[in-house]
Amino acid sequence: MSRRPRTDGGDGHLPDGVEPRTFDGDQRLATRGEPVYGEPVQDGWRAWDPGRSKLGALLGRGVETGFTGDDTVLYLGAASGTTVSHVADFAGPTYAVEFAPRPARDLVRVAESRPNLFPLLKDARRPETYAHVVESGVDVLFQDVATRGQGDVACRNRQFLADDGWLVATIKARSEDVTGPTEVTFGHVVETIEAEYEVVTTERMDPLHEDHLAVVARPR
Amino acid sequence: MTGDGWFVGTARDDTATGAGHVREGRADAPADWPARAVEAGFAPDEEAYYAALHEACVAATRAAATEAERAGDQQLVHAVRAMDDCTRTANELAERLSEWAGALFDEEGGGVGFAREVVDREPTGPDEERAISLAERVVGLVDEADELEAYVETRAPTVAPNLSAMAGPVLAARLIALAGGLESLAKKPSGTVQVLGAEDALFAHLRGHASSPKHGVIYTHEYVRGTRPEDRGSAARALAGKLTIAARVDHYSGDRKPELDEELDERMATIRARAEDDATATDEGGDE
C-alpha cells in the first residue's frame, strides 16, 4: 500500500486532524477549521456532532474508514456541507458533489473558506458529468446519497477510486424501499456493491441514524 | 471535448471560462488532472492548479445553484395560478350545483360545504346521479386547490425566502405570478408592487376618472387589512417598500435576512400608533 503510516498514536482509527476534545465537560470529536453550523468551538477546534453527521458517528464508534488525514476524497451527497466541512478540515483535495440547488448554495459558503474543498452541483448517478473535474486515484470515496440505487452509485463511481482506496457508504433503507424490511433492503444494496467491491465491514447506525447502514469496502 | 479536463482551453486566471467548463464539460473517465494540468502548462504546480480549481468550482456551483433555484419561480407561478383557477371554478360550479340540488333535494345550501353534503347522498334516479356527480367535481377541485396551496407553501420559501417570510408563502407566490417571475418582481419599483393586482383601478385612475388605488393584492396582508382605513395608504406603501427589498434580496443574493422583517414590524408599529394617539387626543378633547 502506498499510504503513509499513521501518526495519530493511540486514537485508534481516527485520521490525523481529528481529535477528541473536551467541550463543556463532554468528550467530543473535533476538527480544526471555520465553524459552519453553530457548533461549539474551542481553541480553533470545532466539535463534530455525531447526531448530524454519519461519518462523525462512525469515527466516534471507532470504525475503520480508511481516512488517514490529507487524503484525496470524493464525497457524494454533500448536502449543505455539514459533514464535508469536517472532512475538508483534515483531508487533502476534497471533491463535494451535491444534486440539489438549495443545499448547494450553503455548500458553496462552506467551501469559500476552505481552499481544498471543491463544490460541484452534479448528479452522483452520472459520473460522466464530473469526470472532467474530479481526478482519478482518490483515496476515499464517501457516499451519503438518499436516492434509489445507492449500490449503483457506489459502483459507477468506482472509477475515481485508487485500487488501494476505500469506499465508505452510508445506505438509507427508506430511500430504496419505503415499506420493505430494512434487512432485506440492505442485503440487496450490499449485493450490488459487491459487484465492484470487497466489503470490509457493515455497521448499523441506530440509534443516532435510524434505518441507516454503513458499508466500508475496498475495490476488487 | 469528451475526455479533456476542465482546464483545457482556458487560462488559469480566467475563472469565468473555467467555471463554464466545470458546468458544461464531461468526460468518459477521470484522469490524473492535476498532473496533466501541470504538464500542459495550465499551472506551474499542483498547488496553483488546486487554487484555480477551487475558484472555478465555487463560481460554477454558485451560478448553477442560483439559476436552478430561479427556474423554481416559474413552477410557483403555475401552481398559484392553477390554485386560483381551481378555487374560482369550484365556486362557480358550486353555485350551479346549489341551484340544481336545491330543486332536487329537500335541503338547500350553497358553497363547497353544501357540495360535500350532496356527495354523500345515494342517488335515487338519473337526475340525482348527475347532480351528485357534479358535486364530486366541485369537491375534487377544492381538494386540488388545497394540494396546490400546500405545494406553494413548501415551494415559495425555497424560491423566495425573505419575501415568503414577510408576505406569507401564498401572497409571495401571487406577487411573483403577477410580476411574471421573481426577476421581474425584483426589478419593479415599490409603487408598482403596491398596486400589483389592482390594474383595473389603476388604469381607471390613469384615464382620469378615479382616485389612485392604495393597494393591490397586498391588501390580503394583515398589515394592510388590519390597519384602520385612513392609515391603510401608509401601511400599504411601507409594506410594499419592504416587500420590494425582500424580493431583490431573494433574487440577487438569496440569503435570509430576518432584520428586514424587524424593520417592517417597527415601521408598522409607528403607523398603528397613530390610531392610539388620535384616540388619546379625542379622549382628552377640548382643544379643537
Closest of B141, B148, B143, B19 to residue B77, by C-alpha: B148
d(CA A120, CA B201): 49
Contact yes or no for B30 and A134 at CB 8 A: yes
Contact yes or no for B29 and A159 at CB 8 A: yes
Residues of chain B in contact with residue A102, where contact means CB-CB under 8 angstroms, are 65, 69, 158
pLDDT at residue B277, as a whole number: 81
Give the pLDDT band of residue A12 (cuts 50, 70, 90).
Answer: low
**Residue A9 above 80 pLDDT?**
no
Residues of chain A in contact with residue B39, where contact means CB-CB under 8 angstroms, are none
**Which residue shows C-alpha cell 484522469?**
B31
Mutation target vs A (from B15, B24, B54; most A CBs, 10 A cutoff): B54
Contact yes or no for A135 and B158 at CB 8 A: no
Closest Cβ opposite residue B33 in set A112, A120, A135: A135
Residues of chain A in contact with residue B25, where contact means CB-CB under 8 angstroms, are 132-133
pLDDT in tens, chain B (288 residues): 457 999 999 999 999 999 999 999 999 999 999 999 999 999 999 999 999 999 999 999 999 988 877 678 889 999 999 999 999 999 999 999 999 988 888 777 788 889 999 999 898 899 999 999 999 999 999 999 999 999 999 889 988 999 999 999 999 999 999 999 998 999 999 999 999 988 888 888 888 888 888 888 999 898 998 888 889 999 999 999 999 999 999 887 777 888 888 899 999 999 988 888 887 776 654 443
CB neighbours of residue B44 within 10 Å? 10
Mutation target vs A (from B58, B155, B256; most A CBs, 10 A cutoff): B58
Contact yes or no for A132 and B27 at CB 8 A: yes
Taking one residue from A and the other from B, the number of pairs with CB-CB distance under 8 angstroms is 92
Give the pLDDT band of residue A6 (cuts 50, 70, 90).
Answer: very low
Give A123→chain B minimum CA distance, Å.
Answer: 12
Closest Cβ opposite residue B53 in set A102, A104, A118: A118
Residues 6+ apart with CB under 8 A from B249: B162, B255, B257, B260
pLDDT at residue A7, as a whole number: 42
Q: Which stretch of A64-73, A202-211, B106-115, B276-285 has the lowest confidence by average pLDDT?
A: B276-285
Contact yes or no for A137 and B32 at CB 8 A: yes
Judge if pTM exceeds 0.80.
no
Closest of A119, A114, A111, A117 to residue A94, by C-alpha: A117
Give A25→chain B minimum CA distance, Å.
Answer: 34
d(CA A72, CA A141): 9
Contact yes or no for A116 and B50 at CB 8 A: yes
pLDDT at residue A1, as a whole number: 37
Q: In chain B, which residue's Cα lies nearest the Cα of A131?
A: B30
pLDDT at residue B282, as a whole number: 67
Cα B215 vs. chain centroid, distance in angstroms?
Answer: 18
Cis peptide bond upstream of A207, omega within 30: yes
Residues of chain A in contact with residue B31, where contact means CB-CB under 8 angstroms, are 135-136
What are A215's strand-pairing partners?
A: A169, A202
Closest Cβ opposite residue A121 in set B6, B33, B64: B64
Q: Are the C-beta atoms of residues B12 and B48 closer than 8 Å to each other?
A: yes
For B120-231, where are the alpha helices, taking DSSP H only? 126-159, 161-167, 169-179, 182-186, 190-195, 199-207, 222-225
pLDDT at residue B251, as a whole number: 85
Listed in order, strand segments (DSSP E) in chain B are none
Closest Cβ opposite residue A135 in set B28, B32, B61: B32
Q: Which stretch of A9-23, A114-128, B15-29 has the lowest confidence by average pLDDT?
A: A9-23
**Residue A61 above 60 pLDDT?**
yes
Number of H helices, E strands in chain B: 13, 0
**Which residue shows C-alpha cell 458553496?**
A108
ipTM of the complex: 0.92
d(CA B91, CA B52): 60
pLDDT at residue B257, as a whole number: 83
**Residue A2 above 50 pLDDT?**
no
Question: What are the residues of chain B with a beta carbon less than 8 Å away from any beta carbon of chain A?
Answer: 1, 4-6, 21-23, 25-34, 50-51, 53-54, 57-58, 60-62, 64-66, 68-69, 158, 254
Query: How far is CA B182 from each of CA A213, B162, B199, B260, rounded to the nearest angstrom?
Result: 41, 12, 19, 18
pLDDT at residue B11, as a whole number: 95
d(CA B215, CA B199): 10
Q: What is the mean pLDDT of chain A?
A: 91
pLDDT in tens, A155-195: 999 999 999 999 999 999 888 877 778 899 999 999 999 99
